[in-house]
Amino acid sequence: MKKQLLFTLIFLKTIFIVSAQSNTLTFTGNNSTAVTETFQFGTNANIYALSGTDFSNRPSFIRYNTAVASGAPVSETMGFNTTGSNVNGTITYRYRKRAANTATVTIIIPGQTDVSYVLPDTSVDDGDINILTDKNLEYTTIIPLSSTVTNVTFRIDEMAQNGSSDIRFRLYDVKVNGQATLSI
C-alpha cells in the first residue's frame, strides 16, 4: 500500500512538473537571424521562420507553392530544445494544402529512423479539387529532448498539382507533447 501511494505521488509530481515546464522552439530564418518562441507542452507555436531558403517565410507560417519532382526534395530544418528537465516528446504539425495536391513528407531527426507520410488527394472527401484543407501530421516516434537543440528536418518530395488551380502548401503550427523521463 505504501509503495502504491509513493508511486502515485511521484507520478502526480511528474505530471505537475511537466505541465509547468515550457519548451523553447528555436527557428533560424533565411537571414541567419535566430527567432525563439517559448510555449507550453501541448500548445501550438507558430512556425514563422526556418533555416534554408526552400520555403518562403511569412509572419505566422511557411509556404512552398511549386511542384517537386521525385528525387529532388525541398526541406527546412528547425531546432527544438527544452528549458526544463529532459523530456520525451512527440511532434504534431498543422498544415494546409489544396485537396487535389499530393506529396510525400519525411521527418528527419539525427539518431532516429526517418518517418515518411503520404499526403493524398482528398478532393473526393473534401468536395472540390481546389478547396484548402487543414490537416495534422503527427510524428509519434518518441524524441528525447533536452537543453541541447534537436534538429528536425521537414522534407517534401513528389508534390503534384493533380488538376487543381495551383500547388499550395502551408505549414502553420507545431505542437510538442512531452513527458518527463522517470527514473525509479
Domains of the chain: 2-177 (2.60.120.260)
Q: Copy the grid coordinates of residue 48.
A: 514563422
Tell me the residue length of the chain: 184
111 contacts 152 by C-beta, under 8 angstroms: no
* Tens-digit pLDDT profile for residues 8-56: 544 444 443 444 345 555 555 444 555 666 767 777 777 765 666 688 8
Q: Which amino acid is at 44?
A: N
Which one, of 76, 79, 90, lies nearest residue 25 by Cα?
A: 79
In 83-149, at which residue ranges do the beta strands (DSSP E only) sit? 87-98, 102-108, 115-119, 132-145
Q: Copy the grid coordinates of residue 9.
A: 505521488
Which one, of 95, 113, 111, lies nearest residue 103 by Cα?
A: 95
Percent of the chain with pLDDT over 90: 41
Angle at 31 between CA 36 and CA 35, to 5 degrees: 5
* Tens-digit pLDDT profile for residues 94-126: 999 999 999 999 999 999 999 999 999 999 999
Under DSSP, is residue 42 helix (H, G, I), strand (E, B) or coil?
Answer: coil
Under DSSP, is residue 44 helix (H, G, I), strand (E, B) or coil?
Answer: strand
* Tens-digit pLDDT profile for residues 155-164: 999 999 999 9
Residue 134 has pLDDT above 80, yes or no: yes
